[in-house]
A and B are shown apart, each in its own frame.
Chain A
Amino acid sequence: MSSLDDAAVLTGERNRSPTAPRLWLGGLAASAAWLAAAALTALWPEGEEWVRTGEFASLLAVVAGALAFAVPLLRLFGAAGERLRAAAPWLVVLALGVIGWELVTAKLDLLPRPFFAPPQALLEVYLDEWPRLLECTVASLQLLLLGYGIGAFVGFVTGVSIGWSRAVGYWVHPVLRLIGPLPATAWLPIAFFAFPSSWSASVFLIALATGVPVTILTWSGVAGVNPAYYDIARTLGASSRFLVLKVAVPAAMPHVFVGLFMGLGASFAVLVVAEMMGVKAGLGWYLQWAQGWAAYANMYAALLVMALVCSSLVTLLFKARDRLLAWQKGLLKW
């Protein structure tokens, strides 16, 4: 047979940045900025004594030291070193942000207390309250992952069924149209007395909030499969089971992931509301509790943990998608 006439570009190795400068100036600048933040925190006298100012200043100094240490060794870190190099502007800005925060709260008292806490107050919360924060994070994660898992699974199966079977579509579609647009939190009052515990009610609500977008997007994915894909498989001897599992489902996966992302966002919202309204554990409950005691530093600390947890879960979902949908081109990088 013929030689390959067509030159398809199979591996697009991205061009590495041109030869890096000898000295990592960005790293030096970042290190200097963090050192300045440390000095300012430690040496500028405060109106009110914050318990953990010294520890916070030490933490900043450690970051400054680590950056200074990394400057000559950056090449040895490989890919991680490249990422660190790219992050230098952010590291500088972060240090400046800490300085500004320090100034307007602890040092100059420009913002009204107790609503605005200095960074050392957050550190105080983390150092003193970490067992409870950890407990709350675990409680939130358990609730969220159980509800999300159930919702994603049921939504996926329902979506495939509606997309594949006319009979299922006939019965489920009208229900979905009526219930789907309703925010899951609207069920809160009913769910809390209909379920044996506020915890199981919350699992249901999170599953509902996740399930609706997953169902709709999976369904639209299955319905939108190129009919020629089925023709091909049928002429090659495929059974209905093969058509569903090996043609419809993989073809619909990009849509399914959009649904999973939407469901994840909705599940966060329902989780926090459910924990604030009824469940006596979790980060949402902690936020509510901290506010009740006017413990604003605790609130910020919990909010930061929550942001990290949500962001990590989204990142995890992106990683899963990148693995499963590696065949797609032009994927958004998170």
Chain B
Amino acid sequence: MVALEQELPAGLDLEVHGVSHAFDLHGAPLPVLDAVGLRAKPGEFVALLGPSGCGKSTLLRLVAGLEPPREGRILADGRPITGPHPSRVVVFQDPTLYPWRTVWDNVALGLEAQGVLRQRRNRVDEALRLVGLDGFAKAYPHQLSGGMAQRAALARALVNDPRLLVLDEPLGKLDSLTRIQMQGEIVALWRRAGFTTLLVTHDVEEALLMATRVIVFSERPARIKAEIVVDRPYPRHRDDPVLVELRHKALELLGLAGSW
């Protein structure tokens, strides 16, 4: 764990300038992102908060380099993003572990794809230890519970020493107890390693508990509505009056003021 901490590079500087994007739906363009601009400074934890299906996940795909944006520019450390790179790793809502690989082999995927597995085998063990799965290295994904599978997916991302960790509602399908536990774990990992984190969520409380800054999106096509700076120390508590106040504000921005 200590070794991992020392080797990890600092966070990545992410800039999104005037990005618009659309999908083709039955021949007609369906706009999903409308002139989105934001910046995540090195080491920041930015949450993208918005209603389901508003286009936040699309923004993450663009940041990951899985698709190019139709309009606008996305810069990593000042250079345009042209494709996927292991320094920007995504953890999706579904763990999508490869069912034919053991947990160990799944975590080793990135190192193997980059051809450096032989030199860094011990990193796989370290990552597994970091997420508390060291006893399950030889298990197959179908033998894991939902929370364990998502931890394995997290380890698969961390083993690459990402400088930007992109989290696409990674806790969305977990039961509420596992969810609360893993929120704390992810924040702890981020604080220890210093990478920049981008978290997509539709859970107001989750965003405020974890992020240093929360960006609130509108309904589709997603537009940035507001930015909430959460200047509170970690570990945070759900009943912190400042957070409760911010929660009111966020819900109001999402048009749900009366429902609290």
Residues of A within 8 A of B (CB): 1-10, 226, 228-229, 231-239, 242, 246-247, 250-251, 253, 325, 327-329
Give 29 A-B contacts (CB < 8 Å), ordered by A residue.
Answer: A1-B129, A2-B132, A3-B132, A4-B132, A5-B147, A6-B146, A6-B148, A6-B178, A8-B144, A10-B139, A228-B92, A228-B96, A231-B61, A231-B64, A231-B66, A231-B90, A233-B113, A234-B84, A235-B90, A236-B160, A237-B160, A239-B113, A242-B112, A250-B98, A251-B100, A253-B100, A327-B142, A328-B99, A329-B142
Contact B96 A229 (CB under 8 A): yes
Q: Contacts of A229 on B, CB cut-off 8 Å? A: 96, 98
Taking a contact as CB atoms under 8 Å apart, the answer to whether A327 and B100 are in contact is yes
Question: Closest CB-CB distance, A218 to chain B, in whole Å?
Answer: 16
Interface residues in B68-115 (C-beta closer than 8 Å to A): 84-86, 88-90, 92, 94, 96, 98-102, 109-110, 112-114
Taken together as a complex, chains A and B put the C-alpha atoms of A10 and B139 apart, in Å, by 7
Assuming A6-B145, A8-B145, A9-B143, is B92 touching A232 (CB within 8 A)?
A: yes
Contact call A237/B86, Cβ cutoff below 8 A: yes
Which chain B residue shows the least CB distance to A328? B99
A10 vs B109: C-alpha distance in the bound complex, in angstroms? 22
Question: What's the minimum C-beta distance from A62 to chain B, rounded to whole angstroms?
Answer: 46
A235 CB contacts on chain B under 8 angstroms: 64-66, 84-86, 88-90
The reply to whether A237 and B114 form a contact with Cβ atoms under 8 Å apart is yes
B162: min CB distance to chain A, Å: 9
Question: How far, in Å, is A66 (CB) from chain B's closest CB?
Answer: 41
Q: Does B190 contact A (CB under 8 A)?
A: no
Top 8 nearest A-B pairs by Cβ distance? Answer: A6-B145, A236-B110, A238-B113, A1-B132, A237-B86, A234-B84, A235-B84, A237-B114
Inter-chain contact B185/A1, CB cutoff 8 Å: yes
In the complex, are the beta carbons of B144 and A5 less than 8 A apart?
no
The answer to whether the Cβ of B200 comes within 8 Å of any Cβ in the partner chain is no
**Smallest Cβ-Cβ distance to B112: which chain A residue:** A246
CA–CA, A108 and B28, complex, Å: 83
Determine whether the beta carbon of A10 is less than 8 Å from that of B143.
yes
Report how far A46 CA is from B177 CA in the complex, Å. 81
Establish whether residues B100 and A236, one from each chain, have CB atoms under 8 Å apart when the complex forms: no
Q: Give the complex CA separation of A141 and B31 in angstroms.
A: 62
A274 to chain B, nearest CB (A): 37
Measured CA separation A3–B147 after assembly (Å): 12
Chain A proximity of B96: nearest CB distance (Å) = 5
Task: Given A6-B148, A8-B148, A231-B66, check contact A236 B143 (CB 8 Å).
Answer: no
In the docked arrangement, what's the CA distance between A110 and B259, Å?
89
Whether the Cβ atoms of B132 and A237 lie closer than 8 Å is no
Q: CA–CA, A321 to B129, complex, Å?
A: 33
Query: Which of A1, A226, A325 gathers the greatest number of chain B CB atoms within 10 Å?
Result: A1
Nearest CB to that of A254 among chain B residues?
B100
A237 contacts which chain B residues (CB < 8 A)? 84-86, 110, 113-114, 160
Identify 4 new A-B residue pairs, CB closer than 8 A, beyond the known A1-B130, A8-B144: A4-B133, A8-B145, A10-B136, A232-B92
A232 to chain B, nearest CB (A): 6
Most B CB contacts (10 A, CB to CB) among A4, A232, A246 go to: A232
* Interfacial chain B residues near A247, Cβ < 8 Å: 98
Query: Which residues on B sit within 8 Å (CB–CB) of A253?
Result: 100
Contacts of A9 in B (CB 8 A): 143
Q: A2-B132, A5-B177, A327-B100 are in contact. Are A233 and B109 (CB under 8 A)?
A: yes
The residue in chain B whose Cβ has the minimal distance to the Cβ of A231 is: B66
Known: A229-B98, A235-B89, A251-B100. A4 touches B148 (CB 8 A): yes
Chain B hits for A7, CB < 8 A: 145
Residues of A within 8 A of B98 (CB): 229, 247, 250-251
